[in-house]
Chain A
Amino acid sequence: MTDVIHSNPVGDSEPSGASPSGSGTTVDTRAGGLPDRFDNPGLPEHRPRMADIDVAAARRAERQVAICFALSAVGSIVTIVGYFLVRLAEPTAAELRTSNTLIGLGLFLTLFGIGVGAVHWAKTLMPDHEQIELRHAVESTPEVKADAADIVTVGIDESGIRRRPLILASLGGALAIAPLPAILLLKDTGPNPGNSLRTSLWEEGVRLVRDPDKTPILASDIEVGSIVHILPEGLVVGGEFSYLEEKAKAAAIVLRLEVEEVAEAARPDSYSGLVAYSKVCTHMGCSVALYEQSTQTLLCPCHQSSFDVLDNCRVTFGPADRPLPQLPIGVDADGYLVATGGLKGTPGPSFWELG
């Protein structure tokens, strides 16, 4: 299959074994002036490398390869030194940085030195004769094809399936039903999501607590121009609910605007200028928490969706499609902020059934 040609000079009219075999080499002459088939151009002239004709160059190449391998060895030593340089108990960040830098550079030298050395060796010093590997047609010969067809026909005849329709029908039926158990087992892959995508832990009477210290918030503590990041009370790590799953839906913010700035639609669910909104972007669920107090814009850092705080968090820019759902708030008997209901919309990114 492979023909090896040693130093094949140009002009050799038909290199041995290089004649195109199989079909597919005829060229449509209608395009004008093109020949029926192209001549094999053969190989370009073999040019000896410097190392082939000059002993000094060969020695130089040998040295270069050796230097590469030596650098690799140096890299290994640097790696080992970098590893043991750090006190293993409580290293400082600076020590870790030095150690990691040495380990990284050392490993790079170790592997790259061997690789470069080996390739340079092969390219400059090892034999460089060109090789030709001819392409052959992938199609089988007519005899092989006829043989294969025979095997199938004889097999069908010998099985007698044409004469026994009962067997054919029952086999078809069995094959049709066989996948059903497999589909049935898919049912056990997990509970159905049900309504969980549309709901969150926010409901009437749930206190608003600060993230991350989980302290309740006095309405009087929030100044105009402030933003407070909140979670529903009771959402703690290792608590009753799956912390991250519920936080992903319930994370919200409270802002204090001037009372007259609050949008008409948001007013019934606000408390003397305090408005609360889900901070989970309705596009892809990033945390919309870049609050520009001077322009009353909430900006999502992922895809620059912008929400107008003064217009009930309407989308003013970006790929988000729905406003941030408002959280209706009030105060309890002790003056702490509480939710007076669930979020006024589905929190987080839109999904298929949401429409």
Chain B
Amino acid sequence: MITVMRARRHRLALPLLLLASLLGAGLLYAAMTPLATATAEQPVTAVADPTDAEQVAYGRELFLANCSTCHGFDAEGGSTETGSEKVSGPSLIGVGAASVDFQVGTGRMPLQATGPQAPVKQPQYDDVEVKAMAAFIASLAPGPAIPSEFLDPAAGDVGEGAEVFRTNCAMCHNFAGSGGALTQGKYAPSLRDVEPVHVYEAMLTGPQAMPVFGDNNVSPEQKQNIVAYLDYMETESAPGGLSLGLLGPVSEGLVGWIVGIGGLVACAVWLGAKAT
């Protein structure tokens, strides 16, 4: 019986079956995972105005319904117990409209799960709602406003942006903005396909582990140059051929070892094999 089955089965059947099931599992996983990197940008129509009482009231409403569990009813910060987990949110007084627009506009907030770092995900609110919440937070105490100027990549100087980027940003975000690891599960996210306004806001407010790069340290013109450099890296990078993710020696070494040395080993085996 066994011999009959063996005879029927092709010798590639098992590897092929394995490959097919791995592929199936991967596709299933991809289909069921929420799109992590998508930042479907809505057209910017609304402006956060902390003096607009109507907008602030709407923002407060949204805040109470969606954010106050962790950040407190008056955005003073607080903590809440959900089962065994204690979730605490920092005070938002004085963080400014820019911080709200960055955190909520990139989908980092509201937090989906506790962890070392809030990841980018599909934004939960449309632009009008984000700006209303930003206006509410900005009405509590002065803080960095949402930038409206110096956001045009075409107007920036790529060369100077690259220099400022290498000094201030590249150590965490990688020389090409591909992102990189930090301590204890934290990481510097990739800067590819990030809206200029969000890049600017991140420098202005220093979200999560990132330090602040205020306008007195990195000037608005320099920030625009950085945006121009990032835009250049997205569109004009890798003149040498394959970019391999612009991750530097990690991906290059991997390809060198596996494809390069693997190919040489395969050639050596072929050279030593007798012709049939």
Contact B214 A290 (CB under 8 A): no
Chain B count of residues within 8 A CB distance of the other chain: 36
Give the Cβ gap from B203 to chain A, nearest Cβ, in Å: 10
The answer to whether A223 touches B208, judged by C-beta atoms less than 8 angstroms apart, is no
Q: Which of B6-14, B56-64, B232-240 sits within the interface?
A: B232-240
Bound Cα distance A94, B232 (Å): 12
A contacts, CB < 8 Å to B: 49-51, 92-94, 96-97, 100-101, 104, 119, 123-124, 128, 210-213, 218, 221-229, 255, 287, 289-295, 297, 299, 301, 304, 306, 317
Given the known interface contacts A100-B240, A212-B164, the answer about A293 and B211 at a Cβ–Cβ threshold of 8 Å is yes
What separation, in Å, do the CA atoms of A304 and B209 have in the docked complex?
Answer: 16
> Chain A's nearest CB lies how many Å from the CB of B264?
12
Residues in A whose Cβ lies below 8 Å from that of B163: 212
Name which of B28-36, B65-73, B167-175 contacts chain A.
Answer: B167-175
Residue pair A287, B171 in contact (C-beta under 8 Å): yes
The answer to whether A229 touches B209 (Cβ under 8 A) is no
Q: A212-B163, A212-B167, A223-B214 are in contact. Are A96 and B239 (CB under 8 A)?
A: yes
A294–B172 CA distance with the chains assembled, in angstroms: 14
B242 to chain A, nearest CB (A): 8
Q: Decide yes or no: A218 and B209 within 8 Å by CB, A49-B275, A97-B241, A299-B183 being known contacts.
A: no
* Complex contact A225–B241 (CB within 8 A): no
Q: B22 on the interface (CB 8 Å rule)?
A: no
Note all chain B residues with C-beta closer than 8 A to A210: 217
Inter-chain contacts of A292 with B (CB < 8 A): 182-183, 186, 209
**Quick check: A123 and B275 within 8 Å, CB to CB?**
yes
Q: Which 4 A-B pairs have the closest CB atoms?
A: A221-B216, A96-B239, A93-B236, A123-B275
Q: Tell me if B262 counts as interface (CB < 8 A to partner A).
A: no
Flag whether B189 is at the interface (Cβ < 8 A): no
Q: How many Å from the CB of B245 to the closest CB on chain A?
A: 15
Q: Is the CB of B276 within 8 A of A229?
A: no
CB-nearest residue of chain B to A226: B212
Main secondary structure of the interface of B (DSSP, over half): loop
Partner of B239 from the list A100, A211, A297 (CB cut-off 8 Å) is A100
Q: Interface code B207-237, partner A: CB below 8 Å = 1, 0 otherwise?
A: 0111111101100001000000000000011
Find A293's partner among B188, B209, B214 (CB 8 Å cutoff). B209
Instruction: Please measure, in the bound complex, the distance between the C-alpha atom of A238 and the C-alpha atom of B184, giving whole angstroms.
Output: 42
B89 at the interface (CB under 8 A from A): no
Give the shortest distance, in Å, between B262 (CB) and chain A (any CB).
15
Known pairs A225-B211, A292-B186, A297-B183; list 7 more (Cβ under 8 Å).
A96-B240, A123-B275, A223-B214, A227-B168, A292-B182, A301-B171, A301-B180
Smallest beta-carbon distance B253→chain A, Å: 15
> CB-nearest residue of chain B relative to A96?
B239
Residue in A119, A124, A213 whose Cβ sees the most chain B Cβ within 10 Å: A213
Given A97-B238, A212-B164, A293-B206, the answer on whether A299 and B217 have CB atoms closer than 8 Å is no
Closest beta carbon of chain A to B153's beta carbon, Å: 15
Does residue B4 face the partner (Cβ distance < 8 Å to A)? no
Tell me, rounded to whole Å, the shortest Cβ–Cβ distance linking A297 to chain B.
6
Instruction: With both chains docked as a complex, state the minimum distance between the C-beta of A99 and any C-beta of chain B, in angstroms.
Output: 9
| Across-interface contacts of B209 in A (CB, < 8 A) | 292-295
Inter-chain contacts of A287 with B (CB < 8 A): 171
Chain A residues contacting B213 (CB-CB under 8 Å) are 226-227
